[in-house]
Each structure stands twice: as structure tokens, then as C-alpha cells.
A and B are shown apart, each in its own frame.
Chain A
Amino acid sequence: MTTTSNGTDPGRTLAVVSAGLSQPSSTRLLADRLADATVRDLEDRGHTVRVETVELRDLAHAVVDAMLTRFPAGDLAGALEAVTGADGVIAVTPVFTTSYSGLFKSFWDVVDPDALTGMPVLLGATGGTARHSLALEYAMRPLFTYLRADVVPTSVFAATDDWAASADDPGAGLPRRISRAGRELAARVAERPGEGPADPFAATPSFTELLGGS
């Protein structure tokens, strides 16, 4: 990362996508904890950080409309821009029926499939018991691998019990996992030049290139 001569840098943006349905939701709680950990680490590295949180519950109708009409309307358009324009993404879903929730998947289905290429992503999930924790690895991680995102090694699952476990409890350690995951994401985000989303018009090849390639 280049730092300007007066020691400031252009800053970083994190997009936090939470697919929790209840209000308040433990999914959102985990998402906020992951964001806090990442922000702390980035700030320790001297970056200023802006966090944009996307609550999918508020966009549920718009997501289905976008599937049917093929264009995002209203707040959904803004949310998609926030996610694809971020320097890093934290994506957290409740585990429903052995996998990410349908709303969570539907949201990523309306994101441009090329928009997350190389994007640092931290994954989180919540569920009633730890028996669901591997959903992160067999369902969520492949989804983001397909999108060619740069998924950090630590993903964080929070079962109901974890919220009551002592930080010192060697078996639980949710706060430790959150810190480690946040640190990993912060390292990736810090390495990345804050360049924002690709402009589809600027990326369009000239017609002579198109002709040559045909």
C-alpha cells in the first residue's frame, strides 16, 4: 500500500452483508463483530475504514424482483454498488437446511458474476448448534471460490452456545476466532490498492481489438 507523504492513505471500505432474518439477529451480531475486528486491525495498520452494512432482509423483495426483471431497483442498486465497490467483503448467513439461506444465495445470484474477482472475503455463519459449522466449508466457500473471490482461511461459525461461552474457555474461543479472521481479512484488504469497481465502459475493448479477436 502506498502511503502519501503526510502519512494518510486513501482509506478502505468494507461491505458487510448480513442475511439474518430476525430483529435483532445473531447473524448481524456476528457480522458486526467480524467488522469490528477487521476495522481495528486496519486502523492499527494506519488505515481509515468506512463500513457499509447491507441487511438482506430489507432488500428481500427487491432481490426477487431483480431476478425477474434482470435489473436492480432502488436500494438494491445501491447495495450492489457498495458490495462490488468495496475493498473487502464480510458475508454472514444463518444456516438453513444444511446450507446458506435462500435469500443469501439469491443476493449473490444478482451480483455480476465477475464483480468479486480477487475481492478479499471473510465468511461467517450462525446456527443453533455447532453441528452445522461445516456448512461454511462445503457450501459457502465453494460459492465464493466460483466467484473467484479471495476467501480468507479462517471462517467463523457461531452457534447459540458460543454467545455465552467465556473468552477463556479453551473449547469455545469465538472472540479469538473473530480476531484471527478479522486479522486475516485486514491483511488482504491492506495489500489491495483501493481502486474501486471496474468501469464497464472503460474496460470495453476498442472495435479494432474486437475485430482482431474475432
Chain B
Amino acid sequence: MQFGIFSVSDVTTDPTTGRTPDDTERVRNMLTIARHADEAGLDVFATGEHHNPPFVASSPTTMLGYLAGVTQHITLSTATTLITTNDPVRLAEEYAMLQVIADGRMDLMMGRGNTGPVYPWFGQDIRNGIPLAVENYALLRRLWTEDVVDWEGKFRTPLQGFTSTPRPLDGVPPFVWHGSIRSPEIAEQAAYYGDGFLHNNIFWPMHHTRQMVRFYRQRFEHYGHGRADQAIVGLGGQVFMRKSSQDAWNEFRPYFDEAPVYGHGPSMEDFTQQTPLTVGSPQQVIDRYASFVDEVGYYQRQMFLVDHAGLPLKTVLEQIDILAEDVVPELRRIVEAKRPADDVPLNPPSHAERVAAARASGEMGVTHVGDSVDPYTGTVAEGTQPVTSSRTAAQEARA
């Protein structure tokens, strides 16, 4: 099982000091957090995508591209990529580029986004959330798997003879997850394509998460991708840890009480009972999270929210260390021992595994499309020499 952290990138005042980082500091903190997670040995770092304050993560591939260059082992991902309001053509291009730059050490998670005004800001209508997710993702997949795409849909201008570049690394697109809290349609979509399904889980009672995951697993099997227990499942989670449970409660309580989303609502006592939020010692986190496999079946990725609600950078880095040293090794040992069979995937598929599978089934895509001569600029891909004189009228006008 992979263990990682995901960030919503909120800029929140630290309620204990009254200090608020500016956007630049928050972005740099996220980079530091991701690098620290890599060095500590966590498996995944994922960034959210938001287009409104107080969130700063508007440009995930810029951030993840940089991180690909400065990290060694950690898988870079998103939580989530807005499949509704982003142009699927740009998503195909940007994430194929990231895949090349990261040398396959990435995947991504599609989500619809829950901020109403983002839809009109990007020219869409929130009432079309599900149809947008369906149509846009269907096009994105075609752009990755088909070299030349003719396409016409409801939400975007048609494409004739379009090729998205760069072509996916080794001819195999990135692995995709779909995240949804309450829409069975999205679990259905993930199952249809044999993609992964991640339930954010953190603001919801486990019985709800269990229903959604069970539905996804049943539909995954229905569509012939394998047995229900072989479907690729991820869960979100949220923890705050100190050696002593009482220290953890005392330190985290002011952040909980003022936190965006649930602050000023239920008490921390109620919320830790009702949701996977666990505040306490590393052993308490291990005990709680080891039980989730019993709820949803063996799953492949557990993500933790650790950098939010105004927690200072130093505290977040300490949380990462506690996770990596005192929680993950033991938690992994316990949950992996509960894997029901050897043919239930231990982890989500890596790029190398996907390449091997594509090779075995003969489903490799090509890694370059077209002649070596670019009909628009008249140059060859390898060099800069013009090989024809077919300049366009616009080029003539500029000349």
C-alpha cells in the first residue's frame, strides 16, 4: 500500500499566533513539504487545484514539474484535477508533458470541483457537472490513446485531425484516478474505464465511504476489468500526532476549532468519532487506519491531509516525519498482511507495470505522430533547416 499526503493549498491564519502567510510563502511551503515527504520516504504527494482564494494551487503541472526535477522517488499526483472546467485538450497536453518530465513518476486524479463560481468563470455551467466530467474525460482518453482525433461533443469546439503532443511516455498514458464524495456516477465512470477510485473520506462517516467503494468494486467487475477485490481503491484521511495523545489534542484543538470547512461546527470529540480524523499518538493512528481495510477491502493508496488550517510549516514537517517513521512502516505491515490474495494489486500500477501490461496485450501507442516534416513551419523535428518554402500568407505579411 502506498502512503502519501495531499494538500488543498489553503492560506489560513494560524489561530495560535494570528500570523497569515502570503501566497508566495504558501507556494514555497508546499514545495518544501513535498520535498520533505520525498526525503522522509512517503510514497505520494498530491496537490489540489483551485481557482479562488484562500487557495494558491491554481497550476498543478507547473508545481509538479518542478517537483519532478527536485525529488527522487515520490509519486506526484493531483487531488483533484478539474475535469469539468479545464479544457480536456490542455489536460491531455499538460499531463503528458508532466509524465515525460517526471519519467512516469506521476498519476492524476479527476474531480469535478465543488466551488460553484469556478464553472461560470471558466465558461461552464455547474448543472452540467456530471455530463462535463463524462464528455471531457472521454475526449482526454482519446487524445492520449489515439494519434489523430476527429471529435465533436457538446461542450467544446470540435476537433478535426488533432494530435495532442507530446505523445504519452512509452506510448502509455498516465494512470488516472477518479475522486468523488457523493456521486455514484463518478464511481461508475472509474469502473467503466478500469481506472482507480479515490474516496476523499475525510469529511464523511466511514459507512458512506464503504457504500461508494463497494459500488465501484461491483461495477469494476461488471465491466470485466477483474474481480471486485482487484479494483484500485484509494482513501483520504486526516491525522494529527504527538507522542502523547493528550499533547496532540491540546496542540491541534485551536486549529480544529478555527479550521475552514468544519470549524465552529461539531466538537473535535464528535468529529474524530464520526470521521477518519484521528488526533493522538502514532499507535492510535495505526490502530484506526489499519481498520479501514476491514471496511472497504484491501486498498492501494492512503492519503493524509496534514498541511491545512494554518498549521505552521515546522509542525507540518514534523507530522510528515512522524508519519514516515512511526506510522507507515507498522501500518503497512499490518494492512498488507490483510491482502486477500496475491493477485490483488499491492500498489496502484506504476508506469513500468503499465508499460509491461500494454506490451503484453499489444496496446502500446506510438511515441511520435506524423512525418518528420512539419507542414506549418517547414522544419524537421530534429533540426532547424527549412526544407520547403511553403510560407503562409501570415508569415509573408510579417516578413
Point out the residues of chain B lying under 8 angstroms from A73, CB to CB: 205, 266, 270, 274
User: In the complex, are the beta carbons of A207 and B265 less than 8 A apart?
Assistant: no
Point out the residues of chain B lying under 8 angstroms from A206, CB to CB: 188
Listed stretches B42-50, B71-79, B127-135, B383-391; interface member = B127-135
Point out the residues of chain A lying under 8 angstroms from B261, CB to CB: 68-69
20 A–B contacts, CB within 8 A, in A order: A65-B266, A68-B261, A68-B265, A69-B261, A70-B203, A71-B203, A71-B274, A73-B205, A73-B270, A73-B274, A201-B184, A204-B185, A204-B215, A206-B188, A207-B134, A207-B188, A210-B134, A210-B185, A213-B134, A214-B134
Evaluate whether A214 and B205 lie within 8 angstroms (CB atoms) in the complex, with A65-B265, A207-B191 already known: no
User: In the complex, are the beta carbons of B188 and A68 less than 8 A apart?
Assistant: no
Question: Could you tell me the distance between the alpha carbons of A180 and B135 in the complex, rounded to whole angstroms?
Answer: 52
B99 adjacent to chain A (CB < 8 Å): no
Question: Separation in Å of the B189 CB from the closest CB of chain A?
Answer: 6
Point out the residues of chain B lying under 8 angstroms from A213, CB to CB: 131, 134
User: In the complex, are the beta carbons of B266 and A69 less than 8 A apart?
Assistant: yes
Point out the residues of chain A lying under 8 angstroms from B153, CB to CB: 214
Give the residue of B134, B204, B223 whose beta carbon is less than 8 angstroms from that of A211: B134
Give the residue of A65, A71, A200, A214 whose beta carbon is less than 8 angstroms from that of B138: A214
Question: Could you tell me the distance between the alpha carbons of A69 and B208 in the complex, rounded to whole angstroms?
Answer: 14
Binary flags per residue of B108-140, CB closer than 8 Å to A gives 1, else 0: 000000000000000000000011001100100
B interface residue numbers (CB < 8 A to A) = 130-131, 134-135, 138, 153-154, 184-185, 188-189, 191-192, 203-205, 208, 211, 215, 223, 261-262, 264-266, 270-271, 274
Q: Which secondary structure dominates where chain B touches chain A?
A: helix
A interface residue numbers (CB < 8 A to B) = 64-65, 68-71, 73-74, 77, 200-201, 204-208, 210-211, 213-214
Question: Could you tell me the distance between the alpha carbons of A74 and B184 in the complex, rounded to whole angstroms?
Answer: 23
Evaluate whether A68 and B138 lie within 8 angstroms (CB atoms) in the complex, with A73-B270, A206-B188 already known: no
Point out the residues of chain A lying under 8 angstroms from B189, CB to CB: 207, 210
Question: Could you tell me the distance between the alpha carbons of A204 and B187 in the complex, rounded to whole angstroms?
Answer: 10
User: In the complex, are the beta carbons of B192 and A68 less than 8 A apart?
Assistant: no
Evaluate whether A201 and B205 lie within 8 angstroms (CB atoms) in the complex, with A65-B266, A68-B266 already known: no
Question: Could you tell me the distance between the alpha carbons of A208 and B131 in the complex, rounded to whole angstroms?
Answer: 12
